[in-house]
Structure 1
Amino acid sequence: MADTNTYQAQANELSQKLWAIANELRGQMDASEFKNYILGVIFYRYLSERTEMYMAEILENDGVTYEEAFADDDYRPVVEDWSLSKLGYVIKPENLFRNLIRKITKFENDADKFSVEDFEKAINDLVGSTMGHESNKAFDGLFNDMRLQDARLGETVADRTDMIGRVMVKVSDIDFDLQDSQFDVLGTAYMILIGLFASDAGKKGGEFFTPAGPSRLCATLASLGLDEAKTVGDCTCGSASMLLEVQKHLTTHKVGHFYGQELNATTYNLSRMNMIMHGVDWQNFDIYKGDTLKDDKYGDDLKLTVQVCNPPYSLKWSADKKFEDDPRYSGVGKLAPKSAADLAFVEHMIYHMDDSDGRVAVLLPHGVLFRGGAEEAIRKYIIKDLNRLDAVIGLPANLFHGTGIPVCVLVLKSKRNGNSGNILFIDASKGFKAGKHQNVLEQEHIDKIVDAYEKRENVDKFAHVADMSEIIENGYNLNIPRYVDTFEEEEPVDLDAVKAQIKTLDSETKAAIDKAESFMRQLGL
C-alpha cells in the first residue's frame, strides 16, 4: 500500500504541474480545446523517451548509440524493425523530444532554429512509420486533434512556433522517471489531468471520463476473485480509465487483451494514448471507433471475461426494426425504446460475456430498474430466461460531471455460483463525501459496498438478498426501495410543548412590538 500511496502522490503532484502549464499557456482557447495540445506533447515525449530507453537497452552490447546505429546503412533497417516489432513505431534520432527541445533552447544559428513545422513533421514521420504494419491500428490518426496549423494557437507560423515551443519546454522541465517501478505514475497523472479538463469543460467534458470512485467500484466488483483476466472490455470506453482500472484490481495485474469501442473521435484518440501511457503494448489492446449500438466492432465471436461500462444515460437511438435480427437484441422480441437505449447497451454486454465466467459491472440511471414497456420485457428476459443479474446497487446523487442524478450499478455474471435463486440489492445512496461541485465516492464507501456484495447477507437499511419469488411478486420491478427499507422513524412530536413554545414566542413578539411603539411615541413618530 505504501508504494501505491507513493505513486498516487507523485501522480497527483505531476498532474497539478501539468494543469498549471495548461492554465498558464492556453491563451485564446478554453481548457477543453487546449488539452489536445498539452496531452499531445506529453504523449510525444513519452513515446520518444520509450524509444531512447529501448534503444539504449538493445544496443548496449554493440557499443553504439541510437544516433550512430541509425546513421549506419546496415544498422538502420535492423533498429527500425526492432522498434516496430516492440514499440510499434519509429522515431528518428533528429525527431527525439530532447533534440527538438535542443533546437528550441540552444540553437546556434537560424538554420537550426525550431519551427512548429519541425514538430509537425516529427509527428507525421512517427505515424507514417506504422503504415503497412499491424501497429498502425494503434497509432493512425492519434495526433489528429493537435492541430498545429490552428490560427487560435497563433496567427502566424512564428506565433504558433512560440506557443507550442513554450508548451514543449514546460513539459520538458518536468521530471518523468519512466524507469520507476511504479510504471504508471505518468499514465495516472495523465488520467487525473483528463479528469481535471473534464471538470473544467462541464457536461460535455464529463462524457468521456468516469470519476475515480464509481470507476474503482465497478472495476472491483467485476474482477472480484480473479487472479487475471483473459479479456477485458468496455463498449463505451471514453478515455479508457475504467478499462485500465480493472487491471489494478486483478491479483496478478495481468490482462491478456483489452477491447474497447468509442464513438467520439477525440476521445477515441485519448483512449489509445492512455492505454500506451499506462504501459499496455500496442499488441495487447484493440480500441475501435464507432457506434456500439449500430455497429458492433467486436464481431460475433468475441467473448469477454470482464466488462465495465458507463454508457451515455438514456441515449436516444433509432430502435430500427432491422435490429430485431441483431443477435445481441433478438432474444427478447422487443427493442429498447427510442428514448432510452440503456438496456440495449446491457444486452450488448450480455451477448459478449464469456459463458464460463463472464462478469459485467455497468453504471446506469435508476429508470432501467422500473420503467415499463419494452424495458420491463428486457429486464424479465435477463432475470428469468438468462438468470444473469447478480446485484443491483444504488449510488449517491451528484457523483458525475454534468449530471446530478443518482445512478445504480448492475452486476451481471454468467455463472451465479449458487446464487441463481436470488438477487442482491444494496442501497448505498447515503455513503459519500460531500464536495463543492460534486459528491465523492471514497475508498471507505467502496469497501462497505464490496464487503456487503461479498458477504451477501441482509443488512438493516443497507442490503437485502431478494429471493426470486420476491422479484416475480414485484413484476420484475427492481426499484431498490421495494427491497431495501431505509425509512427512518422520526422523533414523536410533543404537541403540548410546541403549543407552549408558540405561546411564549407570541408573548415575546407582542412585548417587542410594544417596546418599539413606546420608543416611537417618545420620538414623536
Structure 2
Amino acid sequence: MTEEQKKKLEQKLWDIANTLRGKMNADEFRDYILGFIFYKYLSERLYIYANTVLSEDGLDFADVNEDSDEGRAILDAVAEASIDELGYFLKPTELFSAIAKRGSKPGNFILEDLARILNSIERSTMGAESEDDFDDLFSDMDLTSNKLGRTEEAKNTLIAKVLTHLDEIDFELDKIESDVLGDAYEYLIGKFASGAGKKAGEFYTPQQVSTILARIVTTGKTRIKSVYDPACGSGSLLLRVAKEVAVGDFNGQEMNRTTYNLARMNMILHGVHYRNFDLKQEDTLEHPQHGNKRFEAVVANPPFSAKWSANPLLLNDDRYSQYGRLASGSKADFAFVQHMLHQLDDNGTMAVILPHGVLFRGAAEGQILDRVVSAAARLNVRISRRAAA
C-alpha cells in the first residue's frame, strides 16, 4: 500500500467516525468507532487464518454449516487452532461482514446479536493463554446507551450505518503490512485526542514527542529485549519504540480502564502477538503489576503533577526506600521517576517527560532529585537540567 493509499484509508475511517456520530461528542463516539474497527480487524484476520487451516480440504470458512455435525466438528478444530495462534475465535455467522449485511437490510434489529458476538469473542479466550488480553475488552461499547439514540430503533439505525460503511472498506490484511492498519488506527486515536483538549494526554502522546523518546532509548541498537511504560495510555509510545528497532516484548500499566482497552486493541492491530505484550490495568504508583521485572528500555509521558496518596508506608517499598523521602501528595512526578529507575535493567536506557521546572524543586523533591542523580550516575544515566518550555 502506497503512502497515498494509506492516507486515503485514514481519511475514510475518520470520515465515518466524524459524519456518523451525530450529536455525540467525538470522545464519546471514540470508543464505539475504534471498537468496531477492531472487531472488523479481528473478523478479517480470523477469516484469513481459518481459510489457511481449511485450505487442504478446499473449504471456505464462511460456508461452513454451523448446525450440522460435520460443520461443528470443523469449527471445533478451527477454534482450537485459532485460539492457540490468534488468541480468540469467531463463528462464520459472527464475522463482521455477516452481521453488517444483516444490519443493512431494513427492519433487521442487530443490537442484541452484536452485543452477544462481542461477548463471545471474550468468552472464546476463557481458560486460554490469551484470556487476560481479551478480558472485558469491549466493556466500553455500551450498545444500550442513550448517547446512541433515544429509542432502540434509533440506536440500531446508527450502529447499522456504522457497520455498513466500515464493511465497504477492504482492510486487505492478506496484502499489506500489519502496521498500515495499525497506523491508521493510531491516526484516529490522535484525531480524537486533538479534540479532547487537556484530557488527550491521558491516552495519547503526540507522535513527534514519542519519536524523540523512542530514539533516545534505542540509540546505537537494532534490537531490544523489552520495553516498559508505567503510564502507557493507548500504547502509542510503546509502539513508537518498535518503529526504531525490533522489540522482543512490550510491557505497560494503565490506570484508566477505557484507555487500557485501547492499548490492548492498539497492540493487536499493530500485529503484536498476544504472547509478546503484557499490559496491566492498575494504579502504577500504588499497585505496580510487573514486580521486580527489569526492562531494557523504559519510557513514559506520565500525568504531570498528578495527585497520589504519598502513604508513609510506601517508604518500605523498594522503589522509594533508598531515597528516604516520598514525593508530595500533590505532585507525583518524582514518584514516577523512582518507579521507572527501579524497573530499569542494568544495561537499559530510560526516557521520561516531566513538567517544566521539575528539576528545580526543593523540599522532599529536592532531596529525591539529589539521590536520583546519584543513582543515575551509578546506572550510567545522563540527566539534563534543561526543561522543555
TM-score, normalised to structure 2, is 0.94
- Seq. identity, %: 45
Q: Shift in Å at residue 12 of structure 1?
A: 3.2
Is this contact kept in 2: 1:22–1:38, CA < 8 A? Answer: yes
1: CA distance between counterparts of 2:334 and 2:211? 22
Q: Output one character per residue of 1:415-446: Cα deviation in whole Å (capped at 9) or x when no partner.
A: 46xxxxxx475xxxxxxxxxxxxxxxxxxxxx
Counterparts of residues 309-348 of structure 1 (less than 5 Å): 309-348=300-339
Contact 1:69 1:75 in 2 (8 A): no
State the match for 1:150 in structure 2.
145
- Matched to 1:311, the amino acid is P
Summarize the Cα distance change of 1:228–1:84 in structure 2 as closer, same or farther, 3 Å threshold: same
Q: Distance in 1 between matches of 2:147 and 2:356?
A: 42
Hey, what does 1:349 align to over in structure 2? 340
1:64–1:202: structure 2 CA closer, same or farther, 3 Å change rule? same
Change in Cα spacing, 1:195 to 1:286, as seen in structure 2 (3 Å) is same
Partner of 1:85: 84
Contact in 2 for aligned 1:135/1:283 (Cα 8 Å): yes
Number of aligned pairs? 384
What SS is found at the alignment partner of 1:238?
A: coil
Highest RCO, 1 vs 2 (Cα 8 Å, sep ≥ 6) = 2
Query: Which amino acid in structure 2 is aligned with residue 387 of structure 1?
Result: A
- What letter is aligned with 2:82? S
Q: Distance in 2 between matches of 1:97 and 1:275?
A: 20
Q: What's the counterpart of residue 209 of structure 1?
A: 204
Asked whether the 8 Å contact 1:199–1:206 carries over to 2, the reply is no
- Residue 68 of structure 1 pairs with residue 64 of structure 2: yes
Report what 1:377 is aligned to.
367
Q: Is the 8 A contact 1:32 1:200 kept in 2?
A: yes
User: Following superposition of structure 1 onto structure 2, how do residues 3-152 of structure 1 map, counting pairs within 5 Å?
Assistant: 6-7=2-3, 9-66=4-61, 67-68=63-64, 71=68, 72=70, 73-105=72-104, 113-152=108-147
Greater radius of gyration (CA): 1
Please report how far the alpha carbon of residue 385 of structure 1 lies from its aligned counterpart in structure 2 after TM superposition.
4.1
Equivalent-residue separation in structure 2 for 1:15 and 1:74 (angstroms): 39
1:26-61 Cα deviation digits (max 9, x unpaired): 123100001111111100000000001101112111
Aligned pairs for 1:186-225 (under 5 A) are 186-225=181-220
CA distance in 2, matches of 1:156, 1:424: 57
Which whole-Å deviations, capped at 9, do the CAs of 1:220-277 have from their partners, x for residues lacking one?
A: 1111112211111100000000000001101xx2x22111100111101000000000
Quote the Cα distance in structure 1 between the aligned partners of 2:361 and 2:126: 49
| Structure with a larger share of its residues in helix | 2
Instruction: Provide Cα deviations, 1:393-423, integer angstroms capped at 9, x if missing partner.
Output: xxxxxxxxxxxxxxxxxxxxx346xxxxxx4
Q: d(CA) in 2 for partners of 1:324 and 1:105? A: 60
- Indicate if the aligned counterparts of 2:213 and 2:352 stay in contact, CA closer than 8 A: yes
Taking structure 1 as the reference length, what is the TM-score of the superposition? 0.70
Q: Shift of the alpha carbon at 1:24?
A: 1.1
**Alpha-carbon displacement from aligned partner over 1:370-394 (angstroms, at most 9, x marks no partner):** 1111222122112224415xxxxxx
- How far residue 180 of structure 1 moved from its aligned partner, in angstroms, is 3.1
2:262 alignment partner in structure 1: 270
Q: Does 1:178 align with 2:178?
A: no
Residues 64 and 92 in structure 2, CA contact (< 8 A), matched pair in contact too: no
Mapped to 2, the partners of 1:226 and 1:48 lie a distance apart of 36
Structure 1 residues 85, 293: CA separation in 2 closer, same or farther (over 3 Å shift)? Answer: same
Q: Secondary structure at the match of 2:359?
A: helix
* Native 8 Å contact 2:205 2:236 kept in 1: yes
Does the CA-based 8 Å contact 1:238-1:268 persist in structure 2? yes
- SS of the counterpart of 1:47? helix
- SS of residue matched to 2:268: helix
1:517 equivalent in structure 2: none
Q: Distance in 2 between matches of 1:125 and 1:480?
A: 49
